[in-house]
Amino acid sequence: MPRISINAIGLTSPRVASFRKATGRRQSPWYLSRPQLLTTCCFFILLYLYFHFGSTPIAIPPDSYQLLVDESLKDILNTTLGFQKILVLNLPFRTDRKDAMTLAAATSNIELEFVDGVTGDSIRQSAYPPPSENVKLSAGIRGSWRTHMNALQRVVQENLTTALIFEDDVDWDVRLRPNLQRFALASRFLSENKEVLSSSPSKYPIEQRLNTETSETTFHTLSQYGITEKLPSLPLSSVNQKPLLSGQSHHGAPSSPYGDPSQWDILWIGHCGAGFPRYRSSSRKIEVTAKSVLLTLLNDATVPLPKWIKAHPFQSEPDPLASAYPPHTRIYHRGSGGLLCTVGYAVSQRGARRILHQFGVKEWNGIFDSELGKWCAAEDERLKTGSADGSKKEKKGKERVCLTSQPPIFAHHHPMEGESDIGGLGGGYARKHETKYLRYSVRMNLEKIVRAEKALKDQWPDE
């Protein structure tokens, strides 16, 4: 193969070429020069250390309308919100809900796939897992359970790394993607951090806030571990270090903007009530870890004033969040205090397999969302073992990681002139046209959005 001279491609002058010929020596390339080689190596080493070990915080803008400019969060801007698929549970005869859901998603550039729901009367007795008493539950409860199982079955069968599951009356704020970006930062920290945070006060400035939960205000939560006196809280902005929040899988699986899918089971971001994390130890000295800490985001414009923060029209008092933290504060934490309503939740492949095994094969006997809330709080294991304080250690690899946001990012929409098919908490039905928690609701503004009107309605305005 003929050689191409450097001079032939214009990289040396004729004078330099003649000098080389006269002296019989060749000039060494730049990368073989010792000083330059040393400088180049040092530069790349420093660059590597900067990106892998350096502190590169992700700045959270004070205005929650703004998106976060970060490469690891860009997938949240796609049509499936950073998940592989979005599945919507819908009874085939509820075409009204399918129409509304399709339109709301289209206006938000969201791609959906519908999963046909089933009625309880269509399920044969032989198809239920133990115990046999579950056939005595109402047809609506049985149908809801089977519909969720069908969605989880699909996640497992298609081997989806992550999937977001909606009920067909779900609603969201028009600022959905910025909300999900901030949740993603929190979920990475809460699922992947294994440190004892309280042992590094300079690194993690934990504030112990007074827990305002009472036996009266926790009627919508499920955990029986008891109410904690303090809430260890940590600003979300203080944990946004890029080396920790990489979002990369530790086991070769596809990465997710919400953190390593092998490290979490459920992202319960659409609910109608959540309890603060519960401690499972009788010891007075509690080590603060990702299991018990609450990450806070102050001045979140998507969060209503305290008086509006309640799950249902017939809930007399606001959620404890309203009195435990300053106005317009959003918090993120583990779902160990119990959650209700599965209006919107994401599952990893690990989580989908675990839940399908628990409620589709092993046993099921109750309302699906309350049973799932107990599963996240490990209440089922505690009740079976009879541990007085829940201090029994979980087996290796059995930790259940359910993460949530308060207020929820997705919420139930109560349509105009139409009662919900789902009974309200504590009795009654939601008859008022509204969506709790969401300020600029897509469903409440759907007509304005379709007409391309710029002025949207804030249904829970500041005074």
Q: Which residues pair with 86 in a beta bridge?
A: 164
Report whether the peptide linkage leading into residue 131 is cis, meaning its omega lies within 30 degrees of zero. Answer: yes
The answer to whether residues 233 and 209 touch, using CB atoms and an 8 Å cutoff, is: yes
Spatial CA neighbour of 426 closest among 217, 269, 275: 217
The answer to whether residues 266 and 346 touch, using CB atoms and an 8 Å cutoff, is: yes
What is the spatial distance between Cα 79 and Cα 112, in angstroms, rounded to a whole number?
Answer: 9
What is the spatial distance between Cα 165 and Cα 339, in angstroms, rounded to a whole number?
Answer: 16
338 and 245 both lie in a single domain? yes
Containing structural domain, residue 340: 71-450
Spatial CA neighbour of 115 closest among 159, 77, 164: 164
Q: Give 150's contacts (C-beta < 8 A, 6+ positions apart).
A: 115, 116, 117, 118
251 and 173 both lie in a single domain? yes
The answer to whether residues 101 and 90 touch, using CB atoms and an 8 Å cutoff, is: yes
168 and 19 both lie in a single domain? no
The answer to whether residues 382 and 146 touch, using CB atoms and an 8 Å cutoff, is: no
Confirm whether 360 is domain-assigned: yes
Report whether the peptide linkage leading into residue 407 is cis, meaning its omega lies within 30 degrees of zero. Answer: yes
State percent of the chain over pLDDT 90: 56
Strand, helix or coil for residue 165: strand
Say what the pTM is.
0.82
Residue ranges, the chain, pLDDT below 70: 1-57, 216-225, 240-254, 280-285, 312-314, 380-397, 417-431
Lookup: tokens for 114: 């519908």
Confirm whether 234 is domain-assigned: yes
Confirm whether 62 is domain-assigned: no
CA 221 to chain centroid, in Å, comes to: 19
11 and 123 both lie in a single domain? no
* Whole-number pLDDT of residue 322: 93
The answer to whether residues 334 and 268 touch, using CB atoms and an 8 Å cutoff, is: no
* Cβ atoms within 10 Å of 342's Cβ, excluding its own: 25
Lookup: tokens for 63: 């205005």
Tokens 């938000």: give the residue. Answer: 108
Confirm whether 353 is domain-assigned: yes
CA 176 to chain centroid, in Å, comes to: 12
Question: What's the domain count of the chain?
Answer: 2
Tokens 């929820």: give the residue. Answer: 408
Calculate the CA dihedral of residues 136, 141, 147, 151 and round it to 10 degrees.
-110
What is the spatial distance between Cα 386 and Cα 277, in angstroms, rounded to a whole number?
Answer: 20
Question: Phi and psi at residue 198, in whole multiples of 5°?
Answer: -70, -15
83 and 48 both lie in a single domain? no
Based on C-alpha coordinates, what's the Rg of the chain?
Answer: 27
**Alpha-carbon distances of 53 from 56, 241, 421, rounded to whole Å:** 9, 9, 52
Tokens 């979140």: give the residue. Answer: 300
43 and 115 both lie in a single domain? no
* Cβ atoms within 10 Å of 100's Cβ, excluding its own: 18
- Single-letter amino acid, residue 266: I
What is the spatial distance between Cα 141 and Cα 122, in angstroms, rounded to a whole number?
Answer: 13
Question: Phi and psi at residue 348, in whole multiples of 5°?
Answer: -85, 170
38 and 76 both lie in a single domain? no
Q: Which residues pair with 114 in a beta bridge?
A: 88
* Cβ atoms within 10 Å of 273's Cβ, excluding its own: 23
Confirm whether 77 is domain-assigned: yes
38 and 81 both lie in a single domain? no
Entry field: residues in the chain: 463
140 and 270 both lie in a single domain? yes
49 and 162 both lie in a single domain? no
Residue 259, sorted as left (phi over 0), alpha (psi -120 to 50) or beta, turns out to be: left
Confirm whether 461 is domain-assigned: no
What is the spatial distance between Cα 117 and Cα 114, in angstroms, rounded to a whole number?
Answer: 9
* Whole-number pLDDT of residue 454: 85
* Cβ atoms within 10 Å of 380's Cβ, excluding its own: 16
* Whole-number pLDDT of residue 225: 63
What is the spatial distance between Cα 401 and Cα 291, in angstroms, rounded to a whole number?
Answer: 9
Q: Which one-letter DSSP state was computed for residue 43?
A: H
* Cβ atoms within 10 Å of 225's Cβ, excluding its own: 20
The answer to whether residues 342 and 254 touch, using CB atoms and an 8 Å cutoff, is: no
Confirm whether 457 is domain-assigned: no
Confirm whether 175 is domain-assigned: yes
Q: Give 194's contacts (C-beta < 8 A, 6+ positions apart).
A: 289, 290
The answer to whether residues 109 and 135 touch, using CB atoms and an 8 Å cutoff, is: no
175 and 129 both lie in a single domain? yes
421 and 340 both lie in a single domain? yes
